[in-house]
Amino acid sequence: MARPSQRIDRALLASGRALFPRAGCAALSVRAVVEHAGVNLGMFHYHFRTKDNFLRTLLQETYEEMYAALAGAVALQGRAIDRLRDALLALAAFAREKRELLGRLWMDVLGGEPVATEFMRANAPRHLGLLLGLMQQAEAEGDLAPLPPMQRFATLMGAVVMPILFASGLARVALGVAAYRRDFVPQVAADAAIVERIELVLHGLGARRAEAEGRA
């Protein structure tokens, strides 16, 4: 059975995740977190000591959830292109679930918030390395055309993940345009829409190899 202090720890983090998308690193206040969690201020300092430590824990736990799903897809048996499909689907599903938090995190990174920047520098190489390795294997197996690694990575992210984050923000901002809200899930964030974008972009990246071989 979990100790009461452990339950308080989890309650504070849950409240932080709920409040972070609107506040970001700079505006998230400790007082707002403890009030949302129904916890006294002393317990916050007992568990996390400082706001920055709290933010680091919140962001890292969220990242590890995504990384575990991604690493699980990479570790599957089979051709690299099939594992890449699974990895992209896992990444897109995570982006869909956490889109508001991720959108705020990117705003903080672009704004130079120290905790967000530190977090991104420490973790981006991890998932980037997994995906680049899969793409290299898929190219070696003849399923992807040769391209500079970062160009291929940017193409995949631009087709699969960024539409979820961008369209989510557009739907939220364009409150007076009902079509944006109505079409967001079926056309952008639904499983079928994500799978279709994955197939389209992988086909495009693989078709270049077939075209090059046909001209040879």
Domain check: are 133 and 194 in the same one? Answer: yes
CATH number at 13 reads 1.10.10.60
Task: Report residue 175: phi and psi, to 5°.
Answer: -65, -30
Cα–chain center distance at 21: 14
Domain check: are 91 and 116 in the same one? Answer: yes
Domain check: are 201 and 97 in the same one? Answer: yes
Q: Quick one: pLDDT band at residue 209, thresholds 50, 70, 90?
A: low
Domain check: are 34 and 108 in the same one? Answer: no
Sign of dihedral through CA atoms 93, 96, 97, 99? positive
Query: What pLDDT does residue 182 have?
Result: 75
C-alpha dist (Å) from residue 159 to 51, 120, 137, 139, 195: 35, 21, 20, 19, 11
Domain check: are 44 and 55 in the same one? Answer: no
Expressed in percent and rounded to 5, the helix, strand and coil fractions of the chain are: 85, 0, 15
Domain check: are 143 and 64 in the same one? Answer: yes
Domain check: are 126 and 211 in the same one? Answer: yes
Domain check: are 61 and 133 in the same one? Answer: yes
Domain check: are 151 and 94 in the same one? Answer: yes
Which ranges constitute the DSSP H helices of 30-77?
A: 30-37, 41-48, 51-74
Domain check: are 39 and 64 in the same one? Answer: no
Domain check: are 90 and 129 in the same one? Answer: yes
Domain check: are 146 and 173 in the same one? Answer: yes
Q: What integer is the mean pLDDT of 60-86?
A: 94
Taking the model in full, what pTM does it have?
Answer: 0.85
Query: What pLDDT does residue 1 have?
Result: 43
Query: What count of other Cβ atoms lies within 10 Å of the Cβ of residue 84?
Result: 25
**Structural domain harbouring 31:** 1-49
For residue range 135-157, list pLDDT tens digits in order. 999 999 999 999 999 999 999 99
Domain boundary residue among 34, 49, 64? 49
What total of structural domains would you count in the chain?
2
